[in-house]
A and B are shown apart, each in its own frame.
Chain A
Amino acid sequence: GESVGLHLPTLSVQEGDNSIINCAYSNSASDYFIWYKQESGKGPQFIIDIRSNMDKRQGQRVTVLLNKTVKHLSLQIAATQPGDSAVYFCAETRPGYSTLTFGKGTMLLVSP
Chain B
Amino acid sequence: DGGITQSPKYLFRKEGQNVTLSCEQNLNHDAMYWYRQDPGQGLRLIYYSQIVNDFQKGDIAEGYSVSREKKESFPLTVTSAQKNPTAFYLCASSLHQADTEAFFGQGTRLTVV
Interface size class of B (residues with CB under 8 A): 20 to 34
Check if A98 sits within 8 Å of B56, measured CB to CB.
yes
Question: Which B residues between 37 and 92 are near A, CB-CB below 8 angstroms?
Answer: 39-43, 45, 48, 50, 56, 58, 90, 92
Chain B residues near A8: list those with CB within 8 A: 40
Check if B101 sits within 8 Å of A7, measured CB to CB.
no
Contacts A32-B99, A98-B56, A99-B98 given; does A44 touch B104 at CB 8 Å: yes
Once bound together, how far apart are the Cα atoms of A91 and B87, in whole Å? 20
A43 at interface, CB cutoff 8 A? yes
Check if A100 sits within 8 Å of B106, measured CB to CB.
no
User: Which of B6, B58, B99 is most buried by chain A, counting CB atoms within 10 A of its CB?
Assistant: B99
By beta carbon, the residue of chain B nearest A101 is: B45
**A94 nearest CB across to chain B (Å):** 9
**A101 nearest CB across to chain B (Å):** 8
Using a Cβ cutoff of 8 Å, how many contacts connect chains A and B?
59
Partner of A44, one of B90, B98, B109: B90
A1 at interface, CB cutoff 8 A? no
A58 at interface, CB cutoff 8 A? no
Check if A99 sits within 8 Å of B107, measured CB to CB.
no
A67 at interface, CB cutoff 8 A? no
Once bound together, how far apart are the Cα atoms of A36 and B102, in whole Å? 10
11 residue pairs from A and B, CB less than 8 Å apart: A8-B40, A32-B98, A34-B101, A41-B107, A43-B105, A46-B101, A46-B103, A98-B50, A99-B45, A99-B48, A100-B98
Chain A residues close to B by CB (< 8 Å): 3, 6-8, 31-32, 34, 36, 41-46, 49, 89, 91, 93, 97-100, 102-105
